[in-house]
Amino acid sequence: MIEVVNPATEEVIGTLAEGTPADVDAAVAAAVKAFPAWAETSADERAKVVRAIIGGLKERAGELAAAMTREMGTPLTFSQKVQVANPVAIAEGVADVLERGYFEPEEIGNSLVFREPVGVVAAITPWNFPLQQMVAKVVPALAAGNTVVLKPSELAPRTADLLGEVVSAATPAGVFQLVHGTGAVVGEALAAHPDVDMVSFTGSTKAGRRVSAAAAETVKRVALELGGKSACVVLDDADLGRAVKIAVANSFMNNGQACSAWTRLLVPAERHDEAVELAAQAAKKYTPADPAEPSTRIGPAVSKAQRDRVVGYIRKGVEEGATLAAGGPEAPLPQGFYVAPTVFGGVTPEMTIAQEEIFGPVLSVMPYADEDDAVRIANSTIYGLAGAVFSADTERALRVARRLRTGQVDINAAAFNTSAPFGGYRQSGNGREFGRFGLDEFCEVKSVQR
């Protein structure tokens, strides 16, 4: 049995039966059996199923938000406005694409080109955006005619169970299977399983390498959404105060536990000290508190291990010579896995906190000499998931954005788009999620010549 712990109180709130390889075999066998009939359903029928899932998510929005706050400590208001709202929007985008004729064959010369399902898809998802990442895989995979075996994070099992109830109510028996457990056991068994045709994984880069290696034995398709160390580039003509305030909010989003967070704030060298002071002042507004309270802006780390990991990085930053401008390694509250929102100044590209994904509320302010230097620093990690550019000149910002080796870039705090492709370059992974691009991942393409 696996204990489920509320990270705000450190109390055990439930237990979870740990899945075994035999459970994986049974789930995959059911998915294999259900695949032929499900693959033959029409796109219109599958669109109706997606609409039914959307309806179920909306009906159970309150339960889902409360579960995520209780299991992984995200503030309740963020759970409601983002952790539930985004998945609903993602699913609606999938339904819209289906209803616009995505699966209609395309004529190319004397060929008809068809999109067909891959087969049995294993979806392995993380704890930080549990519902969003499950929906971003399960819904498009089902919409494309695949059957799905989901292995959610063992840290957010109630959220997965709620989604499982919604999906199971909308789909025929066997089409969707849910297996709880650890990555080392259930995840490994799914990635290596000979009857699984595709693995879609979101998690750390280290774990993604392991998934790829296990899947390679059967040459199955693999889609990976992994870590990030995203840069927010503030150009010299930008409104520095606005840019810093937004960058701090983004870096501390979801208690700092977001792979796409702008954890490196790049500013002109001559304005570095000003930016550090602005960031430190902004950080004071993020007071760690009970995530169940609607006014709370930042809650705990998801677990003791995660809290200790983040604190270790903060100590490393101090050891390597970065200037601690706000926060620090000391616990801000006597109970719960809380981390003080932390801002470092004087961070250089070779420092550990500038290179490795911390996954906590830690922002590194980094000076640059000129625009070329800013681009060089932004591209100086192994990652390439997200990023941002601030400038008074949107065309200049776009030119810089095009030079960043990353899958997404926001200009002047543009809104998140749940229909635009989301995914990374380099060791941030491969493949894309959301909208038409997310559906592409779960389809084979067949050409028939006439």
> Does residue 351 sit in the same domain as residue 406?
yes
Q: How far apart are CA 192 and CA 218, in angstroms?
A: 7
In a domain, 206, yes or no: yes
Residues ≥6 apart with Cβ < 8 Å to 161:
178
Residue listed under structure tokens 């677990």: 303
Say which CATH number the domain at 247 has: 3.40.309.10
Q: How far apart are CA 2 and CA 8, in angstroms?
A: 18
> Does residue 308 sit in the same domain as residue 323?
yes
Catalytic residue among 71, 154, 225, 441: 225
In a domain, 236, yes or no: yes
> Does residue 171 sit in the same domain as residue 296?
no
In a domain, 142, yes or no: yes
Catalytic residue among 71, 259, 357, 433: 259
> Does residue 16 sit in the same domain as residue 161?
yes
> Does residue 182 sit in the same domain as residue 218?
yes
> Does residue 302 sit in the same domain as residue 158?
no
- Give the closest residue to 306 by CA, choosing from 60, 126, 64, 120: 126
> Does residue 16 sit in the same domain as residue 66?
yes
In a domain, 110, yes or no: yes
At 156, the amino acid letter reads A
In a domain, 419, yes or no: no
In a domain, 417, yes or no: no
Cβ(348)–Cβ(338) below 8 Å: no
Q: How far apart are CA 383 and CA 304, in angstroms?
A: 26
> Does residue 18 sit in the same domain as residue 52?
yes
> Does residue 188 sit in the same domain as residue 79?
yes
Range of the domain at 72: 2-226+426-449
> Does residue 197 sit in the same domain as residue 55?
yes
φ and ψ of 334, to 5 deg: -75, -20
> Does residue 197 sit in the same domain as residue 261?
no
pLDDT at 152: 98
* Count of structural domains, the chain: 2
Residues ≥6 apart with Cβ < 8 Å to 447:
108, 111, 112, 113, 114
> Does residue 312 sit in the same domain as residue 269?
yes
pLDDT at 80: 97
**Is residue 443 flagged as an active site residue?**
no
pLDDT at 421: 97
User: Does the predicted model carry a pTM greater than 0.85?
Assistant: yes
How many C-beta atoms surround the C-beta of residue 107 within 10 A? 9
**Is residue 232 flagged as an active site residue?**
no
Cβ(138)–Cβ(170) below 8 Å: no
C-alpha dist (Å) from residue 442 to 180, 230, 307, 437: 23, 27, 35, 9
In a domain, 154, yes or no: yes
Each residue's pLDDT expressed in tens, for the chain with a length of 450 residues: 999 999 999 999 999 999 999 999 999 999 999 999 999 999 999 999 999 999 999 999 999 999 999 999 999 999 999 999 999 999 999 999 999 999 999 999 999 999 999 999 999 999 999 999 999 999 999 999 999 999 999 999 999 999 999 999 999 999 999 999 999 999 999 999 999 999 999 999 999 999 999 999 999 999 999 999 999 999 999 999 999 999 999 999 999 999 999 999 999 999 999 999 999 999 999 999 999 999 999 999 999 999 999 999 999 999 999 999 999 999 999 999 999 999 999 999 999 999 999 999 999 999 999 999 999 999 999 999 999 999 999 999 999 999 999 999 999 999 999 999 999 999 999 999 999 999 999 999 999 999
Say which CATH number the domain at 126 has: 3.40.605.10
Cβ(54)–Cβ(64) below 8 Å: no
> Structure tokens of 54?
């959307």
